[in-house]
Amino acid sequence: MDRQEDIQELFKKYVNNDISREEFLKLLQYLSAEGREEQLSAWVRNEWQATAPGEEALPGELKALLEGLDEQLLARLDGSVKRIPGYRQRSVRSLRRKWLLTSAAIIMFLVVGAVIWYTVPRSRHASQQAAVKTHDVNPGGNRAFLAIGNGQRVVLDSNQAAVIVQNGALRYADGSLITSLNADSSHANGQPEFVVLTTPPGGQYRLTLPDGTGVWVNASSSIRYPVRFTGTRREVTLSGEAYFEVQKNPDMPFVVLSGGQELSVLGTRFNISAYPEDKRIVTTLVEGSVKILPGVGSQPRLLVPGQQSVLKDGDLSVKKVEVGYYTAWKDGLFVFNRLPVQAILPQIERWYDVQFRYPAAMERTLMWGTVSRNVMLSEILEVLALNTGWKFTLQGKTVLISPKTGMN
């Protein structure tokens, strides 16, 4: 029999989004057994109190969600878990209201997590039926265009994923030529030619800069960069979100300008989210160090790995975070860690090119879990509905959110 300490460690890894598929299935099998209620309650209370000291043992949203469960939803949850390869069938009875609130809530958490982490594709027949019954929206993909300083505009191939700037030419990652550039050409002021890579809503693209720095550009974003780096620093300008893996060059710092912020590094990995509509700039450091200048005349602030800075209304704050939550998008995942919906929905809006409309009461709803960015919007909405207890209705490019019948 598995040692309790080993299983508890798997539970902690699950909470921290650091669990493998095999470990996750092992955890679910263990927690499915009868008689785990008290142990389960203790674990979830300890984890919740560790991450939210001073708050109630469990959020009110879980209580509302639990009280709103009906036989049909329980059956759907059970069916979702049974679709997970390698998972032994469990009794829906383990989800009944007779459980302690905390035990039932954590089982809800695990079941929803199962759907989020490991939902397997439906059969082709089921997919075709769904397409007939309802309108759906495809996930985003590799879509972007280039605006070159000479006036040329190039729509990038959606079957490709990356652009490389090298030896006076723009190429795809497989080496095929996009367009030739004169790397030695300069403007009247001596500055090299610039290129702007822009992703639309529902688009993403990778970029390798002239110095070998890798950039992952998220949806609804743009990055301006030179054909060649000259002078004393390597400077690019970002609007939106991008993840950077900067090549080291002690003699030429790498500088990212975004809104009113200037970030300077020698070589490191970090993520910047600087969407104008968010009215803040969020910098998350994965590796190395970065120096942030919040504005002209301000004092620079140094970040170390695991820290995140937020620049809002001229004020810069720094806190420690789990960086994986903020960089998972480049690996094809949405990761939510007890975030309010107003922080989550814009990410989905940009990727699926839709808009959400919801009542003010929903702003208090928190979400957690991980879901692929490569599924249809309907699957995302199903997960959101299970996770929040609210109703999501797709009408064209608008998603209407409303209380389910019986919700207060």
The pLDDT tens digits for 38-93 are: 666 667 666 655 655 554 444 444 443 334 333 333 444 444 444 444 444 443 33
Pair 100, 164 in one domain? no
Helical pair 37-51 and 4-15, crossing angle rounded to 10 deg: 40
Pair 219, 321 in one domain? yes
**Which structure tokens are listed for 72?**
């049909």
Q: What's the pTM?
A: 0.70
Pair 193, 168 in one domain? yes
Burial class (CB in 10 A: 0-12, 13-18, 19+), 303: buried
* Three-state secondary structure string covering 164-177: EEECCEEEECCCCE
Query: Is 64 a domain residue?
Result: yes
Residue 176 has a CB neighbour count (10 Å cut-off) of 9
State the chain's mean pLDDT as an integer.
77
Angle at 6 between CA 2 and CA 7, to 5 degrees: 75
Three-state secondary structure call for residue 36: coil
CA distance 194 to 228: 9
Per mean pLDDT, which of 38-47, 103-112, 155-164 is the most reliable? 155-164
- Domain final residue pick, 299, 325, 351: 325
Number of domains in the chain: 3
The answer, yes or no, to whether residue 132 has pLDDT greater than 90, is: no
Residue 112 has a CB neighbour count (10 Å cut-off) of 21
Specify the higher pLDDT residue, 223 or 29: 223
Query: Is 87 a domain residue?
Result: yes
Pair 370, 396 in one domain? yes
pLDDT at 406: 56
Q: Which letter does DSSP use for residue 192 in this model?
A: B
CA distance 137 to 140: 9
CA distance 177 to 217: 20
Mean pLDDT, rounded, for 217-227:
96
Three-state secondary structure call for residue 112: helix
Range of the domain at 377: 333-403
Q: Which letter does DSSP use for residue 405 in this model?
A: T
Query: Is 266 a domain residue?
Result: yes
Pair 157, 303 in one domain? yes
- Domain final residue pick, 325, 360, 382: 325
Read off the pLDDT band of 15 (50, 70, 90): low
Distances in Å between the Cα of 77 and the Cα atoms of 44, 82, 116, 162, 247 are 20, 9, 11, 39, 46
Pair 352, 384 in one domain? yes
- Domain final residue pick, 103, 118, 133: 118
Three-state secondary structure call for residue 385: helix
Pair 297, 197 in one domain? yes
